[in-house]
Amino acid sequence: MDRVVQGQGPLGDDPPMFADLAAHGLTVSVVPPLGQINLRGLDHEIAQAVAAACNGLDVTGPTNRCVAAGASWSLCLGPDEWLLVVPKHDTNDTARDLAAGLAGKHASIVDVSSNRIALDVGGPKAVSLFSSLTSLDISDLGPDRCVQTMLAKAQVIIHPLAAPTTYRVFLRPSYARHLADVIVDATRFL
C-alpha cells in the first residue's frame, strides 16, 4: 500500500520562527521527513542481516554509537535497540528486507518514521544553546556518537553531523513546538 499524500510535520517545512536565529549565531532547520525503523535484537544475531538489508550498515558496537553507510544511519539506543534512519522512499523496502533477513530470529522491526522529526541545529552558538538546555557537554561528543537525553523536558536523540558544530536532534512531533519555543527563547540570551 503506497501512500499518496505527504503532509506536513508539526513545524512545517521552513518555520519563520527560526529565520531570525541566524543573527544570534544559530541555524535551525527542519529536516525533510526521514524513514525511521526501530530495530530490536542482539547484535551478534542480527548484524549480518542488517548489513545486507541496509547497504552494509554496521550495528555492532556500544550503545550510543552512531554510524552512517551511504544515506543510511544507525543510532544505537541501547544494548539491543537501534534507530535506523533511511531515505524516506526506502522505508518500506528496507523494512521488508530486514524482515526477510531476520526471519526466524528474535528481533523486532517497527516503522516509526513519524514517531520523531529531526531538526538540524548548527552555527557558532549551537554548543552554547545546548549548554542552556542540557547538562551534557555536546562539544565532547565524538563524530561516531549519539546521545539520548532531555531538552526542556522533551526526550531527544542528538548526533553530530559532518559539518562543524552542527547537530541533528530527533524529537517527538508532539513536543516539537514546545522545544522550538524554548530554542527561540534561549537564543535571546546566547
Partner 1 sequence: MTATRPANLRAPPVRARGGDWVDDTRPIAVSFDGRAYTGLAGDTLASALLANGVRVVGRSLKYHRPRGILSAGFEEPNALVQLGKGAHSEPNALATRVEIYDGMTATSVNRWPSLSHDVFAAFGLLARFMPAGFYYKTFLGSRVLWDRLYEPFLRRMAGFGRAPVGADPENYDQRHLQCDVLVVGGGVAGLASARAACASGARVVLIEDNPELAAGLAASPAKEWIDVAIGVVKQDATVLTRTTVFGAYDAGYFAALQRASDHLPQEARAGVRQRLWLIRAKQVVLATGAIERPLVFPNNDRPGVYLAGAARAYLDRFGVLVGRNVVAFTNNDETYATVIALKKAGAAIAAIVDVRANLTGGAVALAKHEGIRVLEGYVVVDVRGRSAVRGVTIAALDGGRREKIACDALLMSGGWSPAVHLFSQQGGKLIYDPGMAAFVPDRRPADPWCAGALCGETGVDAAITGGWRAGSSAATALGKPAPRGLTAELPDEPKGDAPLAFWRVPVAPSAERKCFIDFQNDSTLADVSLAVREGFTHPEHVKRYTLTGFGTDQGKTGNINALGNIAERTGGDLARLAPTTFRPPFLPVTFGALAGREKGALLDPVRVTALHDWHVAAGAAFENVGQWKRPWYYPKDGETLDQAVTRECLAVRNNVGILDASTLGKIEIVGADAAAFLNRVYTNAWSKLGVGRSRYGLMCREDGMLFDDGTTTRLAPDRFLMTTTTGNAAAVLDWLEEWLQTEWPDLKVYCTSVTDHWSTIALAGPRAREVLQCLAPGTALDAENFPFMSYQEVVVAGVAARVFRISFTGELSFEINVPWHDARHVWEAAITAGAAFGITPYGTEAMHVLRAEKGYPIIGQDTDGTVTPLDLGMAWAVSTKKDFLGKRSLARPDTARPDRKQFVGLLTSDPSRVIPEGAQIVSESNIADVRLPQSSPVPMEGHVTSSYFSAVLGRSIALALVRDGFRRTGETVYAVADGHAIAARIGPTVFYDPDGTRRDG
Partner 2 sequence: MLLIDCPHCGPRDETEFHAGGEAHIARPEKAAELTDAQWADYLFMRSNTKGWFAERWVHAAGCRRWFNVERHTVTHEIRRTYPMAGAPTEPEEGP
Residue 118: CB minimum distance to partner 1, A: 13
Distances (CA, A) of 35 to 20, 116, 175: 29, 10, 19
Q: Out of 38, 60, 63, 92, which residue is the one contacting partner 2 (CB under 8 A)?
A: 63
Nearest to 10 by CA among 179, 186, 187, 182: 179
Q: Out of 149, 154, 161, 166, which residue is the one contacting partner 1 (CB under 8 A)?
A: 154
Nearer to partner 2, 54 or 146 (CB): 146
Q: Which does 77 bind (CB under 5 to 8 A by kind): partner 1, partner 2, none?
A: partner 2
Q: Out of 8, 44, 62, 103, which residue is the one contacting partner 1 (CB under 8 A)?
A: 8
Residue 182: CB minimum distance to partner 2, A: 16
State residue 165 phi and psi, 5-degree precision. Answer: 40, 45
Q: Out of 55, 60, 120, 178, which residue is the one contacting partner 1 (CB under 8 A)?
A: 178
N-terminal to C-terminal alpha carbon distance within the chain:
47
Distances (CA, A) of 80 to 40, 55, 83: 5, 20, 11
62 counts as binding partner 1 under rule CB under 8 A: no
Q: Out of 86, 107, 157, 158, which residue is the one contacting partner 1 (CB under 8 A)?
A: 107
State residue 18 phi and psi, 5-degree precision. Answer: -90, -10
Q: Out of 6, 14, 16, 79, which residue is the one contacting partner 2 (CB under 8 A)?
A: 79
135 counts as binding partner 2 under rule CB under 8 A: yes
User: CA 58 to CA 44: how far, in whole Å?
Assistant: 11
Question: Which grid cell sits at 90?
Answer: 526506502
Q: Which does 108 bind (CB under 5 to 8 A by kind): partner 2, partner 1, none?
A: partner 1
